[in-house]
Structure 1
């Protein structure tokens, strides 16, 4: 089996690994770089060809699937069924271009065959819903691709089970190391349970509305927030985008727009989208607990709103931000890059301080080390990290590769 990493040996995001065996090829992920433009054809890995049997997507984060629209529409896209529904539900709101996304679904522990390749997916704990690692077998070789994973989320048992029951005889492990540029080797991230307790304390201490700014596609975080709301008796307000993403999970244990204690509010900018695109059936589907702007002031003082920047004019007009607070629950890098500069300026004019309550979607160095030791590969290939130089200090059998380099496993 031959391997080529198109992008990922020196960076986080934009991951794409090409595998070739017995006249067939597949790719693992087809991501958009963190600072990339989805329309830039120069970013697209050159993998087209009649022998390309499919693209296997580890999870629904744009840095792992964001260039798929550049492929031929008949290229099979293999991913989790819920992940597929989530990216399809999000695209009308975000404008992210997508191909048809036709292809087999991944299911935990169920091996599928694509050309010469046998692929066994392992459901993992990550901030993206329906995320997988892969065991790939071909021509007598076995490689393992970690995808993105962690051990401190609401699905931490998946990590523990994999470490306790790892696949054996691994020739090469491609392992992410996102945390290596963020934490020292002896540090750990807080758990989602830790976050829940911290959010509960904040909700109890706030007299007005709490604006909670996170990625709606971080389903674990939405569950954490909902649980905190229940524990403090506060209603949770979501928008139509959030309602559509939560519904796309098709998981009855995930909060939904018609649950008690959840309200749907349609921001003005989203209402324009609904009219323009005639999304009336979607709106009707989620309108059981709908509220309107005049009700924001009535219930807003006691509510938590799953905040998006497009809501700012609505919240201003509703006059519901007296004694309000704001929690930022995403990667701090977006703030450093100025992604939310206008929201920060808006908060400053309101005299509302930003509180950062967050934990990573990626494994800490200690958990990466346990993972690598459990799988005991003959070669460990660094990927998806800005600190690949640290691998040789922490792990055994590290072999460094370069983007674009073909080699034989």
Structure 2
């Protein structure tokens, strides 16, 4: 009787950042790890925007991963960034999709506030997993490990079957507010047959000017204590680590932190999973109600839902435009409106850019805000992805028998930095 074959197939991710898709097979059974909307075409080339709006096998946004002779038992999503989950609505409804509890919260709130192209139609039917708790899919035993990443609740995935082990890091870093999770992973995962590890930062697009979240917090404190100007921060509302950095910096500087309804509801719902998150009683957090977000809340949860944040409510009529006591993390549209109010009162605001620079280069709104405020964006950001020293620490600690680069534009550089590197191209199968 022939031995049942176990293998790993890299459907996408060998030469791109985002859109990774990995199959683990054992005999006729298989599972898929991540199925996200790609951010770029092969080799980092610009993606056809029209293709992402109408994904298909023909335009190569969808992958041939669910045909009858290739049908997986389940899809397992590592975290709640669209480049990792964005194609799950194209998975047949009878194939289960697993996401973490935190990822489901992020996606549920996103479903309420995002436009139609960003919503996940099948979210209610997704199954959830918890970090550290083993679950089984067919012959596969899966363990998720909480990771430090800019997506709250991001997980790596250890898949074990018939004595073989495959470890997928997903997206991670070691310099955020959950950096201790890396020690736990290194102690828990030892010498898997294969480790698929991201290498996003192995290029010049992710500068390490600010090495960690603590340095972001301190830079904000230094800025706000050195002058009295109101500060506007452009950043991702779903980056909870950064919101915590803003919250702590505002408290240390004696400022009021102003966020919008989307961020407030996200924090509110995530507190059920992580009670240490803000807000806290009698603190310095205020909530701005943009009209579109207010309408969304009323439509989604009813007008009474707004009352829970009434003691924190602030709007344009309540802002003291003669004062520099504020730290704002609001949308570009609200930023423009409030900047105009401060400028009319003779108060010049400070602008802080706290995201990947690529977004700024693609959106004219940022330059228009500079013109309005008469100020330049100051760059205060640390990557959501691991820098080389952290990649080395994880690779040395886990000591995989074979290390496969994924989620990178620089797979060839792995050979210079790591041992036991096994290069794969999209579509390649590695038999264990």
Give TM-score, length-normalised by structure 2: 0.87
Q: SS of the counterpart of 1:179?
A: coil
Match of 2:348 in 1: 323
Match of 2:3 in 1: none
Cα distance change of structure 1 residues 259 and 15 upon mapping to structure 2, 3 Å threshold? farther
SS at match of 1:109: coil
Q: Which of 303, 306, 309 is the aligned partner of 1:283? A: 306
Paired residues for 1:201-212 under 5 Å: 201-212=222-233
Distance in 1, matches of 2:223 and 2:153, equals 30
1:124 to 147, 151, 156: 147
Alignment of 1:194-233 (within 5 A): 194-233=215-254
Q: Distance in 2 between matches of 1:379 and 1:300?
A: 58
Counterparts in 2 of 1:130 and 1:259: CA distance versus 1, 3 Å: farther
- 2:75 paired residue number: 55
Q: Once the 2 structures are TM-superposed, how far is the Cα of residue 182 of structure 1 from its aligned partner? A: 3.1
Residue aligned with 1:297, SS:
coil
The alignment partner of 1:60 has SS state of coil
Contact map agreement 2:31 2:73 (CA 8 A) in 1: yes
Alignment counterpart, residue 55 of structure 2, candidates 40, 44, 47 = 40
Shift of 1:390: 0.4
Shift of residue 123, structure 1, vs aligned partner: 0.8
How far apart in 1 are the matches of 2:205 and 2:90? 35
Are positions 1:28 and 2:33 aligned together? Answer: yes
- 2:200 maps to 178
Aligned to 1:9: 14
When residues 314 and 143 of structure 1 are mapped into structure 2, their CA distance, relative to the original with a 3 A threshold, is same
Are 1:257 and 1:286, in contact at CA under 8 Å, matched by a contact in 2? no
**For residues 353 and 281 of structure 2, what CA distance do their matches in structure 1 show?**
26
8 Å contact kept, 2:234–2:354: yes
Shift of 1:113: 0.4
Contact 2:156 2:168 in 1 (8 A): yes
Contact 1:6 1:16 in 2 (8 A): yes
Q: Distance in 1 between matches of 2:93 and 2:324?
A: 49
- CA separation of 1:262 and 1:184: change in aligned 2, threshold 3 A: closer
Matched, 1:241 2:241: no
Contact 2:150–2:240 (8 Å) recurs in 1: yes
**Structure 1 residue matching 2:383: 3-state secondary structure:** coil
- 1:167/1:218 CA distance change after superposition, 3 Å: same
Q: 1:293 to 1:381 in 2, by over 3 A?
A: same
Q: Deviations over 1:362-387 (max 9, x none)?
A: 11111111111111111110101111
Q: Structure 1 length normalisation: TM-score?
A: 0.92
